[in-house]
Amino acid sequence: MDLTSIDWTYWVGTGVALLLIVAGLLGTLLPILPGTPMIFLGALTYGWVTDFKEISARVLISLAVIAVVAQLLDSLAASIGAKKFGSSRWGVAGAIIGSFVGIFVGGPIGLAIFPFLFAFLFELLAAGKTAKQSLRTAFGSLLGVLGGIVMQLMFGLVMILAILIAVL
């Protein structure tokens, strides 16, 4: 076998695309990785490698829209959960700040703990709610974070299904 006859761009590019898609799927479960954007980049890479014959512009635009919507909804998930459980503006702000802190501190566990903790403390200290009321709000923010992870996974699976349909 002559190694010069192998289309290295295709095989390396396909490998990179596959790695991005798999890492993106893991990223939907582990908030330290931007899951849906990585899946989109994997599709874009594969499209580029195949001269966009299998992954069309329409598919890429659809995947980009899904990735953006998924990221926006995920970033709001903790605050939406807190609000649904009776949070004040202080609790929602605490959940949002806690989400950002959690991304950088503690990885996936930090992303679950910090929105809960910040929503609780902001409700308790700034909004003047009781510990029981504050705990209810914090629980809502935790449910929001977990709901965001499930939602990200669903969006990621839809994106991968769309890629498979386009390629196969």
Scanning the structure block, which residue is given the tokens 């931007």? 34
pLDDT tens-place string over residues 89-102: 888 888 878 878 88
Q: What does the alpha-carbon distance between residue 89 and residue 39 come to, in Å, rounded to a whole number?
A: 34
**Closest CA relative to residue 121, chosen from 82, 77, 67:** 82
How confident is the model over 139-155, as pLDDT tens digits? 887 788 788 889 999 99
Give the pLDDT confidence of 113-143 residue by residue, as tens digits. 888 899 899 989 988 888 998 898 888 877 8
User: What pTM was estimated for this model as a whole?
Assistant: 0.79
